[in-house]
């Protein structure tokens, strides 16, 4: 199994691929999408590579592409509920110990 940072990076990369896929399906250029969400083309390029994606920006992108935000989060990235619960518990313990 991949480590947590690797798993998160896989997730962000999948989201980026989904952004690209839906943008291209809509026939929208990176420049057009950037204008629609109030960002620079370079920011859209980074997001499509799986970097610098925020929930707020995902919502803006889904509105611009006229799709449900959940579609941008779908993919082959799978984490069990058990793994996610353990990850959250570990983070809480680390915060308490800081």
Per-residue model confidence (pLDDT) at position 78: 52
Q: How many domains does the chain have?
A: 1
Give residue 11's domain range: 4-96
The tens digit of pLDDT for each residue in 47-84 reads 999 998 999 999 999 999 999 999 999 876 555 666 66
Identify the residue with better confidence: 23 or 78.
Answer: 23
Residue 45 neighbours by CB under 8 Å, 6+ apart: 30
**Contact of 93 with 31, CB cutoff 8 Å:** no
- Is-contact 12 51, C-beta < 8 A? yes
Average pLDDT over residues 15-42: 95
Decide: pTM greater than 0.75: no
Q: How far apart are CA 93 and CA 10, in angstroms?
A: 25
- Paired tokens of 18: 């989904």
Collect all residues with Cβ–Cβ distance below 8 Å to 77 and sequence separation of at least 6.
7, 10, 11, 14
Question: The domain that contains 15 carries what CATH number?
Answer: 1.10.260.40
């Amino acid at each position: 199994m991949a480590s947590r940072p690797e798993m998160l990076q896989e997730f962000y990369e999948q989201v980026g691929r989904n952004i690209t896929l839906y943008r291209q399906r809509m026939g929208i250029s990176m420049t057009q999408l950037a204008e629609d969400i109030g960002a620079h083309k370079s920011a859209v390029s980074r997001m499509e590579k799986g970097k610098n994606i925020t929930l707020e920006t995902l919502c803006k992108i889904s509105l611009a592409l006229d799709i449900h935000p959940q579609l941008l989060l779908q993919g082959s990235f799978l984490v069990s509920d058990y793994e996610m619960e353990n990850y959250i518990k570990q983070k809480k313990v680390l915060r308490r110990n800081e």
